[in-house]
Amino acid sequence: MKYILLLLLMPVYQAFGQQIITIDNCYMWARENYPNLKHAQIRKEISDLQKENSHIGYLPRVLLNGQATYQSDVTGIGLALPNISIPAVSKDQYKAYAEIRQTIWDGGLAYAGTQLEEAVLQNDLNRLEVEIYKLNEQVSQAFFTILAVDK
């Protein structure tokens, strides 16, 4: 009976064992739960989309325009000339046209825009690394303070 009771209590004893936590685990958990890291991935995707959009300016654009007008009164020439007939101007007018525009050369503006976007992205990522470095300092300080208090 004693052996059965001992065998039943042995798994319970191991269930209450303590997990060993290293400073590397703390760094990893802090990095995983840092909210700005998730924003960094979104920022990279936004930067990629903006770089793609800068090249769209070279694609041709088609503009279609139309206009219809009606005048209640039009001017007429009340002059009668022999052998010349002057037709009366119609009160309604219609106009429709299409424009095709394509940028051939923009003076390097699209390229400069992609370079600027890349520089801003690198600046944001470097700022994030500085924040993570500060976070690691705080984790280290808390970890070693807990170790000192334990001893």
pLDDT in tens, 55-113: 888 899 999 999 999 988 888 777 777 888 777 788 899 999 999 999 988 888 889 98
> Are 31 and 87 a contacting pair, CB within 8 Å?
no
Residue 151 has pLDDT above 80, yes or no: no
The verdict on pTM exceeding 0.85 is no
Per the structure block, which two tokens stand in for 132? 């993570």
| Range 136-151 average pLDDT | 90
Q: How many CB atoms lie within 10 A of CB 54?
A: 19
What values do phi and psi take at 24, rounded to 5?
-65, -40
Tokens 């009366």 correspond to what residue? Answer: 88
- Lowest-confidence segment of 15-24, 57-66, 92-101, 129-138 by average pLDDT: 15-24
Planar angle of CA 79, 80, 82, nearest 5 degrees: 140
> In terms of residues, how long is the chain?
151
In the chain, where are the structural domains located? 21-150
Per the structure block, which two tokens stand in for 149? 């208090």
Digit-coded pLDDT (tens) for 25-38 = 999 999 988 888 88
Tokens 């106009």 correspond to what residue? Answer: 95
CA dihedral (87, 92, 93, 94) in degrees, to 10, reads -130
